[in-house]
């Protein structure tokens, strides 16, 4: 059964059988002091605040047995997948691959590269290590989603205007319908989050739709009530 989710710029028609949740880069490297986000000079406390909302969104998808994709921005220990143009950008205190407070910055397997324990993937959920900002570049994710007939993606995670927006744009170009959960995403810069949301919904959802978590939860519970009444089944 399709759910009508109140959203900007207009209702998003969610088809649970073709939908997956994508949680972008909720990693210690971006959210905890001492990680990549912090060494770039950012105040990471803004990002910590969305953790309960992201946890509730994950719980919603788990309760309905819908697929969940977790991404990590992660490079190989030998940095063969980290172009110098990325590693040498700017003048951070520590660069990708350097040893920081939580191990080597943005390196797969290091403590700082892990997803926060309270949002940790469960067995059977899809985990993608991505060397770029976008989730399709060099990951094989499109084939994984196609094999499951997934055509709609609900997005959460950090940061809104970098890895979330890049991944949404990549997905949009590949034909996925994308819904961003506004209060389950955050940026180090509030004005960039606001601008990214406006860019996404502009021109009749040129990149996708946005909605608050409460609206998505309500759409699921209303659909369950309807489905229970008519068939006894759960949406």
Instruction: Write out the residues near ligand C5J by the rule CB under 6 A.
Output: 25, 30, 73, 133, 158-159, 162-163
Least Å from the CB of residue 138 to ligand C5J:
15
Which among 25, 68, 21 has a CA at the least distance from the CA of 50?
25
Quick one: 13 or 189, whose CB is closer to ligand C5J? 189
Q: Which of 25, 29, 133, 193 is catalytic?
A: 25
Q: Which of 29, 82, 130, 133 is catalytic?
A: 130
Retrieve residue 136's tokens.
Answer: 């399709």
Least Å from the CB of residue 154 to ligand C5J:
17
Quick one: 152 or 159, whose CB is closer to ligand C5J? 159
Residue 233 contacts by C-beta under 8 Å, 6 or more apart in sequence?
Answer: 227
Least Å from the CB of residue 25 to ligand C5J:
4
Quick one: 1 or 194, whose CB is closer to ligand C5J? 194
Q: Which of 29, 133, 163, 183 is catalytic?
A: 163
Quick one: 152 or 187, whose CB is closer to ligand C5J? 187
Q: Considering Cα of 164, then 169, then 175, then 178, what sign does the dihedral take? A: positive
Which among 199, 146, 180 has a CA at the least distance from the CA of 12?
180
Least Å from the CB of residue 228 to ligand C5J:
39
Least Å from the CB of residue 72 to ligand C5J:
9
Retrieve residue 3's tokens.
Answer: 């759910």
Which among 28, 39, 27 has a CA at the least distance from the CA of 96?
39
Which among 34, 178, 4, 6 has a CA at the least distance from the CA of 106?
34
**According to DSSP H, which parts of 64-212 are helical?**
84-87, 141-147, 165-173, 190-205
Is 178 in the active site? no
Is 163 in the active site? yes
Q: Which residues in 6-136 belong to E strands, given as ranges?
A: 12-14, 19-24, 68-73, 99-100, 103-104, 126-130
- Per DSSP, 180 falls in state E
Is 193 in the active site? no
Quick one: 23 or 158, whose CB is closer to ligand C5J? 158
Residues tagged active-site: 25, 130, 163
């Amino acid at each position: 059964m399709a759910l009508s989710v109140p959203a900007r710029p207009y209702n998003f028609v969610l088809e649970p059988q073709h939908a997956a949740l994508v949680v972008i880069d909720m990693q210690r490297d971006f959210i905890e002091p001492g990680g990549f986000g912090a060494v770039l000079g950012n105040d990471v406390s803004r990002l910590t605040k969305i953790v309960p909302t992201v946890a509730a969104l994950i719980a919603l998808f788990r309760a309905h047995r819908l697929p969940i994709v977790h991404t990590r921005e992660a490079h190989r220990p030998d940095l063969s997948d980290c172009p110098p143009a990325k590693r040498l950008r700017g003048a951070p205190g520590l660069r990708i691959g350097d040893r920081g407070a939580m191990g080597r910055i943005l390196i797969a397997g290091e403590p700082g590269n892990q997803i926060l324990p309270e949002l940790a993937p469960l067995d059977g959920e899809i985990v993608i290590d991505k060397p770029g900002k976008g989730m399709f570049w060099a990951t094989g994710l499109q084939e994984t989603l196609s094999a499951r007939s997934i055509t709609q993606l609900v997005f959460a995670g950090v940061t809104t205007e970098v890895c979330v927006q890049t991944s949404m744009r990549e997905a949009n170009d590949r034909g996925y319908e994308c819904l961003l959960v506004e209060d389950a995403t955050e940026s180090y810069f509030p004005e960039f989050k606001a601008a990214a949301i406006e860019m996404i919904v502009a021109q009749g959802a040129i990149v996708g739709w946005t909605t608050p978590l409460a609206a998505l939860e309500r759409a699921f519970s209303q659909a369950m009530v309807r489905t229970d009444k008519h068939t006894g089944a759960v949406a």
